[in-house]
């Protein structure tokens, strides 16, 4: 070893040593990318393990529970955004409750008005041809005759349509009372059955009786005919025998 080498070895840091072949060597950062070491790779894989072990939090309620919460919130806020079928069913129940007193006053003996929900619950039946329907956000009282439909009354809510039905029932009862109180030859306007009977009565000829004097004349005529028959009988039986004696 030369003198220069001995001087350099004397001033070298004791911690400095030659790299061993089995010892990992850290690479200097490359200009084209960040430096990567085996230790950093191990740390990255450990982070992946931590992420894979993380607990996933599920929603607090299901879809059906969310729908129920929304419906409840809409009911409390007074909104009308529920399903059409639910609104119709509630409307039928409300109208049936409002007309309960009218139905009780009519009694079971009155068969003119039904005042009850339909079998499928989609309408409210007033009578055989009149019903209440809920359509396009409206409440209508319509007359149904076969395939045709005629709207009689349109209302904004169930109390208004209940008042209209009450007036309709009262008007029909008054017309029936007038028909019973009127003479047979004076049918009230609007009563179709009595009007037809009155028309047929006008078409038939009027039959008038004889009266008292007519009956008396018939009685006297009968007496005269009877007396004439008795005289004729006496003349036939008594007259010839008297002439022979």
Residues 98-111 have pLDDT tens digits of 999 999 999 888 88
- The per-residue pLDDT for 204 is 45
Asked if residue 36 belongs to a domain, the reply is no
- State how far the Cα of 69 lies from the Cα of 220, in Å rounded to an integer: 101
28 assigned to some structural domain:
no
Within-domain flag for 37: no
- 52: in domain: no
CB atoms closer than 10 angstroms to residue 95: 23
135 occurs within a structural domain? yes
Sequence-distant (6+) residues with CB within 8 A of 160 are 139
The reported pLDDT for the residue numbered 109 is 84
Residue 112 lies in a domain: yes
In the predicted model, what is the mean pLDDT of residues 224-242? Answer: 74
The total number of structural domains that make up the chain:
1
- Residue 29, domain member (yes or no): no
Asked whether residue 105 is assigned to any structural domain, the reply reads yes
Distance between CA atoms of residues 152 and 133, nearest Å: 11
**pTM over the 0.85 mark:** no
Q: Which domain holds residue 161?
A: 79-181
């Amino acid at each position: 070893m030369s003198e220069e080498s001995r001087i350099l070895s004397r001033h070298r840091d004791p911690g400095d040593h030659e790299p061993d072949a089995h010892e990992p060597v850290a690479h200097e950062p490359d200009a084209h990318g960040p430096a990567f070491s085996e230790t950093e790779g191990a740390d990255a894989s450990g982070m992946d393990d931590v992420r894979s072990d993380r607990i996933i939090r599920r929603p607090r309620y299901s879809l059906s529970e969310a729908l129920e919460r929304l419906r409840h919130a809409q009911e409390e806020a007074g909104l009308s955004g529920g399903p059409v079928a639910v609104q119709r069913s509630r409307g039928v129940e409300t109208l049936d409750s409002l007309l309960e007193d009218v139905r009780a006053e009519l009694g079971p003996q009155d068969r003119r008005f039904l005042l009850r929900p339909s079998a499928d619950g989609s309408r409210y039946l007033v009578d055989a041809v009149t019903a209440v329907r809920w359509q396009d956000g409206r409440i209508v009282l319509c007359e149904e005759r076969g395939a045709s439909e005629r709207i009689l009354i349109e209302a904004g809510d169930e109390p208004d349509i209940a008042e209209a039905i009450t007036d309709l029932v009262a008007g029909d009862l008054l017309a029936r009372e007038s028909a019973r109180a009127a003479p047979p030859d004076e049918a009230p306007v609007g009563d179709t059955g009595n009007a037809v009977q009155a028309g047929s009565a006008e078409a038939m000829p009027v039959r008038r009786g004889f009266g008292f004097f007519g009956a008396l004349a018939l009685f006297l005529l009968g007496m005269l005919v009877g007396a004439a028959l008795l005289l004729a009988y006496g003349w036939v039986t008594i007259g010839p025998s008297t002439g022979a004696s």
